[in-house]
Chains A and B, each alone.
Chain A
């Protein structure tokens, strides 16, 4: 009897989550209707126009999609050397040692820092450095937000890939050593290739995290609603434009913002799906 009740409760809980997700999708899609009727799906995605003035009102998502992809991919690029180093340190060179545990906890701590704190740190500390590097006159923009984003996603990329590296079977590595391979050769030819799909999956998950980051980015990117002019330029991301403009929006603008939310939802879902598929491939290998 108890078992049945427990099963029933689990079933209800799981169903609730499914219903909730379905409700989110339904709300996003139904309230995007106005945008799609006005511009069409493709028209909305490919237009970079964002004009909230009532006389010439027109909305398009392209500048925000590009701003999001620019910052997220550049942040990913910046985070690779650091997170790979941490992963190798924890999962290969100092596997199981005390120091690896310390490093892992410290890096994981980075994931626990609230986004607003990263934003303030970027604003007060990193931005003067960016100005000193002469990236642009006031520091804000794609470059600054990517640098801070890169640091924010290091824990996501490194802890999972470190896990996969430590799962590389010892007999494989020992075999290589017995053939006279050096440590670096083992890492290069055995550990990294074996854990490759897991590492890739962890980076894709980190990318997903970077795509959705809102608070820190909106404080640093400059919030200009146009296609970003390269790394030195300012721009805006999908999450950031929603956070900035949702409060006072109504009518078509509100619908356009919800549509951007829907697009972000889809992009993140696709990224997570790809990560799942890559990991599945690993478990079958």
Chain B
């Protein structure tokens, strides 16, 4: 018995030390790329990394969905090869990094207003109305201001139950950021953040928690990540965008939100986009990497693998996967800017990106979504 235990312990150690295989000259063949961060794009990364690993023998990509804050911390500590975040780094965070970090947008999402109201299958809302519902000022569904936006439907005399996230969340951040833009009162009373001090409603954990309560409660309304709501096919409200149109949260409408002038570093907020087709509560999610990959014990090969992975994510193939699981693909302009940023990644000054010119020009959102 004792021998058996000893043997299994020993073999465990041997196996666990042997995760980097080497060829006859002792060069590393197997590389592992590790990342950590946002939970919002986790389902997408999960699939796109798996596909990448299938096409590239000997490479493993590990991603820990520990939250955007944790991803930024891990990148700062250099315990991962890339971080992932739903919010771009602010000036303070940039200053706290050990070297220059670049932002690569990987896909887009939105925040949708899901509701349950018998007999109402199309609801129109504005940002100001959402703000007042969550501030506890509009308490009933037949409120005259709601009726004014929805002249064709008869709204019931029923209490509104607003539902929000009980855990800190990027979804809450994007939701509150949008409301800050469209409602000065919200900006003054609630502000923006991953967690807020709420005035009305009840809370539940995660998208599933909020969706569960909304689905099961007549008269409830809740904000949910679009990728989750679209997969569940929840009834969601049309939002009035800046151009005055009522827009459904479709992948096309979310992608359209990025059809504005994007900054060269891709640190862009696309809330309340001016594009006439845009869904107003839309957002990017980013992967963060160090611009100069020569740090710690990283080899040039490590850097090349990382760049190749980033190129795969923004390739038509990678973006198609995003659309299949209800993340909005990046439009042309964003892809171009991403490509330029990736080409700037260097290893001690020498560019890392291979075959920049042979990279097929992106087909854009239309092609990805129409396939």
Contacts and interface: CB of A to CB of B under 8 A. Distances in A.
Interface of A: 50-56, 123-124, 127, 137-140, 218-219, 222-225, 234, 243-245, 247-250
Interface string B324-349: 00000000000000000000000000
Contacts of B202: 138, 140, 222-224, 234
A50 B196 CA distance: 9
Contacts of A52: 168, 193-197
Contacts of A247: 67, 167-168
A124 B216 contact: yes
A145 to B, nearest CB: 12
Contacts of A55: 191
B194 A218 contact: no
B289 interface: no
Q: Is the interface of B mostly helix, strand, loop or mixed?
A: loop
Given A218-B205, A244-B205, A245-B168, A250 B193 contact: no
A191 B308 CA distance: 78
B212 A248 contact: no
Contacts of A245: 166-168, 195
B67 A223 contact: no
A223 B166 CA distance: 6
Nearest to A128: B216
B197 A244 contact: no
Interface in B62-82: 67, 69
B159 interface: yes
A138 B193 contact: no
Contacts of A56: 191, 197
Interface string B114-132: 0000000000000000000
Interface string B156-200: 000101000011110000000000000000000001011111100
Given A50-B197, A225-B197, A137 B168 contact: no
A53 B189 CA distance: 11
Interface of B: 67, 69, 159, 161, 166-169, 191, 193-198, 201-205, 209, 212-213, 216-217, 219-220
A248 B193 contact: no
A51 B189 CA distance: 12
The residue in A56, A124, A249 that gathers the most chain B C-beta atoms within 10 A of its C-beta is A249
Given A51-B197, A137-B161, A222-B202, A248 B67 contact: yes
B203 A222 contact: yes
Nearest to B164: A223
Given A52-B193, A224-B202, A247-B67, 8 more contacts: A52-B196, A54-B193, A138-B161, A140-B213, A222-B202, A223-B202, A244-B166, A245-B167
Nearest to A250: B69
A249 B205 CA distance: 14
Contacts of B219: 137-138
Nearest to B204: A223
Nearest to A247: B167
B168 A249 contact: yes
Contacts, number: 74
A254 B42 CA distance: 24
A123 B212 contact: yes
Contacts of B203: 222-225, 244
A54 to B, nearest CB: 6
Given A138-B217, A222-B203, A244 B161 contact: no
10 contacts: A123-B212, A138-B217, A218-B166, A222-B203, A223-B202, A244-B203, A247-B167, A248-B69, A248-B167, A248-B169
Contacts of B213: 138, 140
A224 B213 CA distance: 14
Contact of B196 (A53, A243, A248): A53
Contacts of A222: 202-203
B77 to A, nearest CB: 14
B91 to A, nearest CB: 15
B136 to A, nearest CB: 12
Question: Which residue among B161, B193, B202, B212 has the maximum number of chain A CB atoms within 10 Å of its CB?
Answer: B202
A182 B195 CA distance: 62
Contacts of A219: 204, 209
Contact of B168 (A123, A127, A225, A248): A248
Contacts of B216: 123-124, 127
Contacts of A124: 216
B264 to A, nearest CB: 28
Nearest to B200: A224
Contacts of B193: 52-54
A263 to B, nearest CB: 20
A56 to B, nearest CB: 8
A52 B213 CA distance: 23
Contacts of B194: 52, 248
Nearest to A243: B205
Contact of B220 (A127, A138, A225, A234): A138
Nearest to B160: A137
A139 B217 contact: yes
Nearest to B159: A137
A124 B216 CA distance: 8
Contacts of B209: 219
A223 B195 CA distance: 13
B198 A224 contact: yes
Contacts of B167: 244-245, 247-248
A137 B159 CA distance: 7
Nearest to A140: B202
B118 to A, nearest CB: 14
Contacts of B166: 218, 223, 244-245
Contacts of B205: 218, 223, 243-244
B11 to A, nearest CB: 27
A248 B161 contact: no
Contacts of B197: 50-53, 56, 225
A112 B203 CA distance: 28
